[in-house]
Structure 1
Amino acid sequence: MSGYDVLAEVYEWLISDEKLTPAEFAAAFDDVIRLLPSNARVLDCSCGTGQLAVGLAGLGMRVVATDASAAMVRRAGELAEELGASLRKVRAAWHQLTDHFDDASFDMVFCVGNSLHHAEGAKGRMAALESMSRLLRPGGRLVLTSRTWELVRARGSRLDVRDELVRRNGRDALVIYRWEIAPHWEQEHHIEIAVAQVDADGTVLVRSELLSCWPYRYDELSSQLHSVGLRVETSTFDPEAEGYMVVATRV
């Protein structure tokens, strides 16, 4: 699985304006959060820099934040400390989750931010989903967001350059995505993400990271969710939309 240790330092430039603060990030999931009691036990795996985890903690939930990247876990901890949020942090990849937590110990598990495609192939993705499913209590829910890979693959290998600078904390940066689309679905694909920070004196500092990914069709994801004991409750999948959210319930 890819690390994100380089991009962790500039990850705020990759977060949309609408989800930049913890409160805003959590509010994006209001429809599923309202299904939980205020003291629910929630896992945010692939937590990134912690916006969602800290937002959930701010709502009074008992939150655990995990990520395979040490740098991401560190940044999530820094954000929690800055905002006075109570949060447990664990560095763990998906397949390691059951080494740290008991089965059926969470009311809800979040796997958001287009992260699941970093699981290595169908086997790795199945292992990730099985780990997350095992941690849910019966009736608990997995909330997962994904790119629409059917669209991504149809566009082929390419360079995507944002058409405007992104401003964060008084600093500007240009965000660039370079896609390497393999000939076949089951092969390893790559995304190189570059953040070119432009300082006031004209200095440009570029940080980039090449990330491995293994795409999947929506139908394949639905089948794998079913295989690990999760029933799709709601889905926003649209083959013409850039991304979607799936909410699946532990049977």
Structure 2
Amino acid sequence: MREAEFNHPRLVEVYDAECPWSREDDFFVSAVSAAEESGGELAPGGRRVVDLGCGTGRLAIGLARLGHRVTGVDPAAASLRRARGKAGAERVTWIEGTSPVLGDSAYDVAVMTSHVAQFFVEEDEWRRTLSDLRRALVPGGRLAFDSRDPDARGWERWNPIDSRHRITMPDGSVVDAWTEVTSVDDGAVDFTHHCTFHDGEELLSTATLRFRSEQAIRSALDAAGFVVEDIYGGWNRESVGASDGELLVIAHTDR
């Protein structure tokens, strides 16, 4: 099933168990907190934040608990059901959809985490998404997202040996998981996640990610009307080329 990890209820539970709060979330909390307030009636210290591709809501709920006004947007109904059932979910506005649903000048900060930016495989879709985000942000609004650095060639470790790991579920059962790449074509990487459950059921999730270079990201942001503030290579704000193999982008709209 295509992108079943976000759409199949059992795989959504696996995703949630595999992805607890981490330094990645800390990075985005810091990016949101550093954004300048601009316009609107905000709660003390709060920002109006949209989490595009919010998934099961871990970061959205965390940001809301810090006093931000958060909207979580995602096209996967199963992921949003999971998000809505979590403690603190009532603090977040949840919307099923993609970037066209965003209101004009509605947010001070936009985030895309967990490499959501790479799921926009086609360049037209990527350009439309950045344009929608530009429209949805106030003048001077901030955008933060992550994308894997193609120079790190991380997909080469997505194989049955290097990627195999075990995930402990809340009920104590264990899921055996691994990933295999099925094709690599001009920066587009097709892959399949395999999950085998304690009862013997195996579920597959296929997807494609686009690996964009730092220069390609900078060019797309410039064309969409964003100004790049920083691009880091690691979660501790190391330079591009750091061992984390990331491109962590912080940009803002023109004032």
**TM-score using structure 1 length:** 0.82
State the AA in 1 paired with 2:166: L
For residues 140-174 of structure 1, what are the alpha-carbon distances to aligned partners after superposition, in whole Å with 9 as ceiling and x for unaligned?
11110111223337838844554542323233222
8 Å Cα contact 1:157/1:180 also seen in 2 = no
Supply the distance in 2 between the matched residues of 1:84 and 1:156 (Cα, whole angstroms).
35
Q: Which runs of 5+ in 2 are unaligned?
A: 36-43, 234-239
Q: What is aligned with 2:13?
A: 9
8 Å Cα contact 1:58/1:85 also seen in 2 = no
Task: Verify: 1:242 aligned to 2:238, yes or no.
Answer: no
Task: Verify: 1:138 aligned to 2:139, yes or no.
Answer: yes
Q: What is aligned with 2:214?
A: 218
Task: Verify: 1:104 aligned to 2:105, yes or no.
Answer: yes
State the AA in 2 paired with 1:50: G
- Structure 1 pair 107–8 and aligned structure 2 pair: CA distance change class (3 A): same
Q: Tell me which of 149, 173, 176 is aligned to 1:174.
A: 176
Q: 1:243, CA displacement in angstroms?
A: 1.8
Supply the distance in 1 between the matched residues of 2:61 and 2:52 (Cα, whole angstroms).
13
User: Greater CA deviation, 83-92 or 128-137?
Assistant: 83-92
Q: Which runs of 5+ in 1 are unaligned?
A: none
8 Å Cα contact 1:130/1:228 also seen in 2 = yes
Q: What is aligned with 2:114?
A: 113
For residues 43-101 of structure 1, what are the alpha-carbon distances to aligned partners after superposition, in whole Å with 9 as ceiling and x for unaligned?
0010011000000111111110011111112111112xx3354111111123x2xxx33
Supply the distance in 1 between the matched residues of 2:246 and 2:89 (Cα, whole angstroms).
32
Q: Tell me which of 85, 92, 98 is aligned to 1:87.
A: 92
- Structure 1 pair 125–105 and aligned structure 2 pair: CA distance change class (3 A): same
Q: 1:105, CA displacement in angstroms?
A: 1.1
State the AA in 2 paired with 1:27: D
Supply the distance in 2 between the matched residues of 1:207 and 1:63 (Cα, whole angstroms).
32
Secondary structure of the equivalent of 2:94?
strand
Matches within 5 A, 1:165-204: 165-169=166-170, 170-185=172-187, 188-198=188-198, 203-204=199-200
RMSD: 2.5
Q: Tell me which of 204, 208, 213 is aligned to 1:208.
A: 204
